[in-house]
């Protein structure tokens, strides 16, 4: 157990860490040192989101894109003017040897082939999360990335998020002291259904509801949140127990639209996670509670809630505060001291860009400047393996252990 003297030192360290990080996090973005030519694999829902964010980077050019669905190819032509469409990654890579990097935004179960093809062609790769729909495919991707010598980034966005980075500096420095409990949720009103008159096209478009390939809610939304806790804590759960069912969309689907899970870590602390497609109340967020405070994160915003007996530090005079019923949260704002001196503290609340933008920005910096990626293929593998275990527990209806072998890259 942490001693009182050590606790006070850690609390002071949290304030210092925050002040050191703040100028870096909100400083004006420096242009990339070199232009980046992009090939985009998959122009469906996530591919369209990527195109929207890529348009904000002056140094980045989308040279080509591909998709197996002809209608989506036609739609992408309007969004990616000047880029050339292709039916698959192989033909795109063959036609454009000058591409620097490939972004993979296909359905999860189709990640492996384009990742391996792009790496074999000598391209840097950004792959959306979860890394794959099976541990076998995730390990194959991680192995290909390791042997390629190229930049590979898994799209687990929490690790690139400036608000989350600032919050992690507090947690890792002891600001909330001993972590005792955790919870997270993703609530949205969304059927996950994409209408299509052709049965074959409907099956392809609605892959998230296809029990043969989907990881369901634990994979498609849970992996992002599980990884946040892996990153903050520096360890992984050792046991999972999940339950759920089709409670909102009774349309013949067999993939659960509501899931509750408990992920237990080695020290006995547990993460209670839930997700539903039937209600959007309180949206998506993560909460970490310690004996001296709590942190709540909501992707574009973050707050620190201190316990009454937590030491007070000088940096708190600059804090912007927000009331949550009976609790008062200190808004996590980068460069708070400078903003306060300018009378602009509230302008620093929240991220000016979507979390995806920061993940892509980090990837481009890794490609052009040699920076380390925020999330490697190996970390992507581990988050994927945990999500797969949660889905397996849900289907089996019983608790499952997570061993070191389950998280290993071989």
Here the tokens at position 14 are: 């949290």
Q: Where in the chain is the domain with CATH 3.30.360.10?
A: 4-26+161-352+377-401
Residue 319: per-residue pLDDT: 65
Tell me which H or E stretch contains 165.
helix 162-172
Residue 161: per-residue pLDDT: 95
DSSP letter assigned to residue 295: E
Q: Residues 11-36: pLDDT tens digits?
A: 333 333 333 334 344 445 788 989 99
Cα–Cα distance for residue pair 86/331, rounded to 1 Å: 46
Question: Is-contact 352 300, C-beta < 8 A?
Answer: no
The backbone torsions φ and ψ at residue 345, rounded to the nearest 5 degrees and listed phi first, read -55, -45
Q: Residues 246-278: pLDDT tens digits?
A: 999 999 999 999 999 999 999 999 999 999 999
Residue 4: per-residue pLDDT: 33
Cα–Cα distance for residue pair 104/109, rounded to 1 Å: 12
Residue 331: per-residue pLDDT: 83
Give the torsion sign (CA, 89, 92, 94, 97): negative
Instruction: Burial-class residue 152 by CB neighbours within 10 Å (0-12, 13-18, 19+).
Output: buried
* pLDDT, tens digit only, all 410 positions of the chain: 333 333 333 333 333 333 333 434 444 578 898 999 999 999 999 999 999 999 999 999 999 999 999 999 999 998 998 999 999 999 999 999 999 999 999 999 999 999 999 999 999 999 999 999 999 999 999 999 999 999 999 999 999 999 999 999 989 999 999 999 999 999 999 999 999 989 999 999 999 999 999 999 999 999 999 999 999 999 999 999 999 999 999 999 999 999 999 999 999 999 999 999 999 999 999 999 999 999 999 999 999 998 988 887 655 655 677 778 778 878 886 554 444 444 544 555 678 899 999 999 999 999 999 999 999 999 999 999 999 999 999 999 999 999 999 999 98
Q: Where in the chain is the domain with CATH 3.40.50.720?
A: 36-158
Region of 304 on the Ramachandran plot (φ > 0 left; ψ -120 to 50 alpha; else beta): beta
DSSP-assigned letters across all residues of 337-348: HHHHHTT-GGGG
Which pTM does this prediction carry? 0.90
Residue 333: per-residue pLDDT: 66
Give the torsion sign (CA, 311, 317, 322, 325): positive
**CATH fold label, 4-26+161-352+377-401:** Dihydrodipicolinate Reductase; domain 2 (3.30.360)
Residue 116: per-residue pLDDT: 98
Name the nearest CA neighbour of 105 among 161, 56, 39, 59.
39
Cα–Cα distance for residue pair 387/184, rounded to 1 Å: 14
Domain 36-158 coded CATH 3.40.50.2300: no
Residue 28: per-residue pLDDT: 58
Residue 354: per-residue pLDDT: 94
């Amino acid at each position: 157990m942490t001693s009182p003297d050590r606790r006070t030192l850690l609390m002071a360290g949290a304030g210092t860490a925050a002040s050191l990080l703040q100028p870096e996090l909100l400083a004006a973005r420096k242009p990339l040192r070199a232009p980046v030519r992009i090939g985009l694999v998959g122009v469906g829902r996530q591919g369209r989101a990527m195109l929207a964010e890529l348009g904000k980077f002056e140094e980045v050019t989308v040279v080509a894109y591909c998709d197996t669905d002809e209608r989506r190819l036609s739609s992408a032509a309007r969004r990616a003017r000047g880029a050339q469409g292709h039916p698959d990654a192989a033909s795109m890579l063959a036609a454009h040897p000058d591409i620097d990097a490939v972004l993979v935004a296909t359905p999860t179960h189709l990640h492996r082939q384009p990742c391996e093809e792009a790496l074999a062609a000598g391209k840097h790769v950004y792959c959306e999360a979860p890394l794959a729909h099976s541990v076998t495919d995730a390990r194959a991707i991680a192995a290909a990335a390791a042997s390629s010598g190229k930049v590979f980034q898994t799209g687990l966005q929490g690790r690139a998020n400036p608000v989350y980075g600032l919050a992690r500096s507090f947690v890792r420095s002891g600001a909330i002291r001993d972590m005792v409990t955790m919870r997270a949720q993703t609530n949205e009103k969304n059927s996950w259904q994409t209408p299509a008159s052709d049965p074959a096209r409907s099956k392809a478009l609605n892959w998230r509801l296809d029990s043969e390939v989907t990881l369901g809610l634990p994979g498609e939304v849970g992996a992002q949140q599980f990884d946040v806790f892996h990153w903050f804590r520096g360890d992984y759960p050792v046991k999972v127990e999940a339950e759920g069912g089709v409670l909102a969309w009774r349309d013949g689907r067999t993939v659960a639209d509501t899931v509750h899970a408990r992920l237990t870590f080695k020290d006995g602390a547990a993460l209670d996670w839930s997700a539903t497609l039937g209600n959007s109340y309180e949206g998506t967020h993560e909460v970490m509670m310690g004996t001296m405070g709590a942190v709540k994160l909501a992707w574009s915003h973050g707050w620190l809630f201190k316990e009454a007996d937590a030491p007070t530090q000088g940096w708190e005079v600059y804090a912007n505060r927000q009331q949550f019923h009976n609790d008062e949260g200190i808004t996590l704002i980068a460069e708070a001291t400078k903003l306060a001196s300018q009378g602009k503290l509230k302008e620093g609340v929240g991220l000016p860009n979507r979390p995806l933008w920061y993940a892509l920005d980090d990837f481009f910096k890794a490609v052009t400047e040699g920076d380390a990626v925020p999330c490697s293929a190996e970390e992507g593998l581990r988050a994927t393996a945990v999500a797969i275990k949660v889905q397996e527990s849900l289907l089996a209806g019983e608790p499952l252990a997570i061993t070191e072998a389950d998280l290993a890259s071989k």
